[in-house]
A and B are shown apart, each in its own frame.
Chain A
Amino acid sequence: KAGVTQTPRYLIKTRGQQVTLSCSPISGHRSVSWYQQTPGQGLQFLFEYFSETQRNKGNFPGRFSGRQFSNSRSEMNVSTLELGDSALYLCASSLEQGAPLHFGNGTRLTVT
């Protein structure tokens, strides 16, 4: 069974630009969550989608947004990039709420 796939693996962007990250969950998993991981803050929850609806949202500014498609694939977008947005962005899927998360290998975003 294929795991969670995230693309691209690496991105370098300039301040002020926007970026879109993509995630394909494990087949059959309808819940997709996004996390930001930095050395200083650890894993911070961004948002969770289930059946194309945002079910939960973390404490991040509105520059961070996401969506989920009918095939459960998900994208997140960050607009007006700031230096502090440099991080590893992780996508995770799960069978249901409260179930263990299955993570992809992340997208490493560097903002210069």
Chain B
Amino acid sequence: EDQVTQSPEALRLQEGESSSLNCSYTVSGLRGLFWYRQDPGKGPEFLFTLYSAGEEKEKERLKATLTKKESFLHITAPKPEDSATYLCAATSSGGSYIPTFGRGTSLIVHP
């Protein structure tokens, strides 16, 4: 059974304090690893897709990386507007293309 585990569940940072969120996955052949951002009262918003170990994607203060077992979302010098829940999801090559989602990391950045 495919599994995606995110840690930590919650993270509080001061503005400018860089950190990383972790997403560990167990799938039968990774097809794609996705990161989403979800603001309160809204649906998740797509951020990145990673397909193979060693791949990296960047967008403003966010950088996503991928290894054979996990993905990291690095947040550099975060601002209060980066506060949100970050979700990761994985699809496997042996299945139906339906992504398995992690429970998310709730990030709060204090000014």
Contacts and interface: CB of A to CB of B under 8 A. Distances in A.
A2 to B, nearest CB: 14
Contacts of A33: 98
Interface residues of B, number: 22
Nearest to B95: A56
B44 A103 contact: yes
Given A4-B43, A103-B43, A104-B43, A42 B34 contact: no
B99 A56 contact: no
B101 A43 contact: yes
Contact of B103 (A42, A48, A92): A42
Interface in A1-58: 4, 33, 42-43, 45, 48, 55-56, 58
Interface string B37-53: 00001111110010000
Contacts of A58: 98
A102 interface: yes
Contact of A45 (B36, B44, B98): B98
Nearest to A45: B98
B43 A105 contact: yes
Judged by DSSP, the binding face of A is strand
Contact of A98 (B45, B91, B101, B102): B91
A97 interface: yes
Contacts of B97: 56, 97-98
A76 interface: no
Given A56-B96, A100-B46, A100-B49, A105 B101 contact: no
A105 to B, nearest CB: 5
Contact of B34 (A45, A100, A106): A100
21 contacts: A33-B98, A42-B102, A42-B104, A45-B99, A56-B96, A58-B98, A90-B44, A92-B43, A97-B97, A98-B31, A98-B32, A98-B97, A100-B46, A101-B34, A101-B36, A101-B44, A103-B36, A103-B43, A103-B45, A104-B43, A106-B43
